[in-house]
């Protein structure tokens, strides 16, 4: 098999009416361009005819490579299944509902040529319901930008392109696919952004509602923690622990002083209870940090994971 320039990875869950239109459009765009490509379509356990459609498409063109998961695992695992099998120098991800436009791929490719490791699409003119999608997404994006300092305006946009090394260095869990730019930045990627076209969903239903916002916020806490403290949990928990213990000691000292100054008896002073609580919580924090340290060592050492990532070397080739 010759070298592949681009792998296009797409998860599908009950998208029987969208898949053919989308895949045909991708073939059309890619054939107008010089790149060797493959399309990796993952059927995330659909219970409609998506898989039949995929088998037809595969027999028509061997650049179309479908994968069927045993059950519905969710968008992130489906995406991961495809990414694990991508062979291209670059990897494009997009949705299978034909809301993203394959016409944008050449645009993103040339943006990558400017020297980025990843380019994220930005649905400037997003065609989705305002209250359940656009508004929460806007607020969440603001917050995520503030917290992670990753300058991407539209994390939820699935149309993105990466150098393959970047995705190879990232492990996806839960619903973390939307945090890929954040994880990519953590992996040292130079990140660009480009406006992309967005169409309303023509067929099928959206798989998500408003409740997604809460899950995204919880994921944000996890991602922030992993980015900042994944190699030193004791520093974070221990810091909180010290503050708590010192507060407890001060409260205790204050209640002793108040007793001898005749202001308040020890047994009637609420500060005494606070001091006991704060010291116990503080000790718990430090112990939690120590447990974290043990976990971190298991994580890195059991998989021989380095705590660094290399962009380039010279004269090191074996």
Q: List interacting residues with ligand UDP (CB under 6 A).
A: 11-13, 15, 44, 72, 74-75, 78, 95-97, 99, 206-208
Q: Which is nearer to ligand UDP, 82 or 88 (CB)?
A: 82
Q: Tokens representing 305?
A: 């994971």
Q: Please, how many CA atoms are within 13 Å of residue 159, restricted to the half-sphere of its CB?
A: 27
CA 283 and chain centroid, separation: 33
43 binds, among ligand UDP, Mg ion, none (CB under 5 to 8 A by kind): none
- Taking the least distance from each CB to ligand UDP, the nearer of 203 and 242 is 203
Q: Which residue do the tokens 């609420």 mark?
A: 270
Closest approach of Cβ 158 to ligand UDP, in Å? 6
Neighbours of 4 (CB within 10 A): 18
CB of 95 to ligand UDP, least distance (A): 4
Size of residue set near Mg ion by CB under 5 A: 3
Shortest distance in whole angstroms from residue 39 CB to ligand UDP: 13
Both tokens of residue 210?
């408003």
- CB of 42 within 8 A of CB of 9? yes
**DSSP labels for 298-309?**
HHHHHTT--SS-
Q: According to the binding rule CB under 5 A, does residue 15 interact with Mg ion? A: no
How many Å apart are CA 75 and CA 71, to the nearest integer?
12
Give, as one character, the DSSP assignment of residue 185. H
| Closer residue to ligand UDP, CB minimum distance, 95 or 117 | 95
Cβ(155)–Cβ(193) below 8 Å: no
Nearest CB to ligand UDP, comparing residues 130 and 225: 130
Query: Shortest approach of ligand UDP to residue 114 CB, angstroms?
Result: 28
Name the residue nearer to ligand UDP (CB basis): 173 or 242.
173
Cβ proximity to ligand UDP: between 7 and 75 the closer is 75
**Rounded Cα–Cα distance for residues 255 and 272 (Å):** 6
User: From the CB of 73, what's the least distance to ligand UDP, in Å?
Assistant: 7
For Mg ion, the binding residues in 81-100 under the rule CB under 5 A are: 95, 97, 99
Contact partner at residue 15 from ligand UDP, Mg ion, none, CB < 5 to 8 Å by partner kind? ligand UDP
Burial of 278 by CB count in 10 Å (0-12 exposed, 13-18 middle, 19+ buried)? Answer: buried
- Which residues are near Mg ion by CB under 5 A? 95, 97, 99
């Amino acid at each position: 098999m010759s070298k592949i320039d681009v792998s296009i990875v797409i998860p599908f869950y009950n998208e029987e009416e969208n898949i053919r239109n989308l895949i045909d459009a991708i073939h059309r765009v890619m054939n107008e361009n010089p790149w060797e490509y493959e399309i990796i379509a993952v059927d995330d356990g659909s219970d409609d005819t998506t898989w039949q459609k995929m088998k037809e498409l595969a027999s028509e063109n061997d650049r179309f490579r479908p994968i069927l998961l045993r059950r519905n695992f969710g968008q992130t695992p489906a995406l991961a299944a495809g990414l694990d099998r991508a062979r291209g120098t670059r990897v494009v991800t997009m949705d299978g509902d034909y809301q993203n436009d394959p016409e944008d791929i050449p645009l993103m490719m040339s943006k990558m040529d400017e020297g980025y490791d990843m380019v994220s699409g930005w649905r400037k003119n997003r065609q989705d319901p305002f209250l359940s999608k656009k508004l929460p997404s806007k607020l969440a994006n603001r917050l995520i930008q503030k917290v992670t300092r990753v300058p991407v305006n539209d994390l939820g946009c699935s149309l993105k392109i990466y150098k393959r090394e970047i995705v190879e260095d990232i492990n996806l869990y839960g619903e973390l696919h939307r945090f890929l730019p954040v994880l990519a930045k953590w992996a040292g990627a130079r990140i660009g952004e480009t406006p992309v076209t967005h169409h309303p969903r023509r067929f099928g239903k959206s798989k998500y509602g408003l409740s997604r916002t809460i899950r995204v916020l919880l994921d944000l806490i996890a991602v922030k923690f992993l980015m900042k403290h994944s190699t030193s949990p004791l520093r974070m928990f221990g810091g909180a622990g010290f503050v708590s213990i010192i507060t407890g000691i001060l409260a205790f000292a204050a209640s002793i002083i108040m007793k001898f100054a005749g202001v308040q008896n020890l047994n009637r002073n609420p500060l005494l209870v606070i001091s006991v609580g704060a010291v116990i919580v503080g000790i718990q924090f430090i112990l939690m940090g120590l447990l974290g340290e043990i976990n971190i060592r298991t994580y890195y050492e059991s998989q021989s994971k380095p705590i660094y990532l290399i962009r380039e070397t010279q004269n090191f080739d074996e």
